[in-house]
Amino acid sequence: MHGLDTEKLPRHLAIIMDGNGRWAQERMLKRIIGHQRGVETVRVIVEECSKLGIRYLTLFAFSAENWLRPKTEVKALMALLKKYIKAEVSRMLTNNIRFNVIGNRDELPPDVNDAVQDAIDRTAAKTGMVLTLALSYGARQEIIQAAVQMAADISSGGLNPAALDEKRFSSYLFTSSIPDPDFLIRTSGEMRISNFLLWQLAYTELYFSNVNWPEFSRNELHAALRDYQSRERRFGRTSAQLQNRS
């Protein structure tokens, strides 16, 4: 129906959900209406990814830099986040989804943090898709906190600098329990990473859709995934090497 090979789906799909504000402004609506519509898209895409059998879905919902937006927009976004998380827990439980958050949670308002913790706790035993929201997340900040923690562990004798490798470094990141993304989608036509998962995206396949997030549909998702399935991931090797190995 969707023309996808379910054996070749990305294990981890990450999405930069962008274009809510422009979607609203193009319709002479307030930006927050765009964010509300964006939440509808989140529901559709989360459900579809879970149905398709994607193991990890990570959504960039609020960046460390988004705190710089007007106070009214930040406040409305935080209220929307709390409402979404509280409303979705029961659907997550039904769909066997485990909820997870990456980012600087200390910066979130306490009521949002409580809703986050409650959703994490209640879905902790679920074994299906892992849904990670990046909240107050910035990749450089993540790398710095990892460096600080490593320095502390080295001075306390818990970490031998000579033993530091990619795997050990990764274990200090917020994403320690999830594999690197195989595929990244950014909506709204912007072609940048905006401080998202800088370390983890090293070999991720990138896809940019011109559609604003409120209008990103199942069909758009399928088209993106078909594109992913047409790619050859070489990880530095030659194409011939890959053909010989299969």
> Which residues are documented as binding site for Mg(2+)?
18, 205
| Rounded Cα distance, 4 and 38, in Å | 25
How far apart are alpha carbons 7 and 18 in whole angstroms?
29
CB of 160 to Mg ion, least distance (A): 42
Separation of first and last alpha carbons in the chain: 27
Minimum distance, C-beta of residue 80 to Mg ion, in the bound complex (Å): 15
String of contacts with Mg ion for each residue 17-56, x by CB under 5 A: -x--------------------------------------
Token couple for 142 = 């993540």
Site string for ligand IPE, 117-146 (x = CB under 6 A): ------------------------------
Nearest residue to Mg ion, using CB? Answer: 18
Residue listed under structure tokens 């910066």: 107
DSSP-derived pairing of the beta strands 183-186 and 205-208: parallel
As measured in angstroms, the least distance from the Cβ of 23 to ligand IPE is 7
Stretch that binds Mg ion, among 11-19, 61-69, 84-92, 177-185 (CB under 5 A): 11-19
CA dihedral 79, 175, 206, 33 (to 10 degrees): 0
Q: Give me the active site residues, please.
A: 18, 66
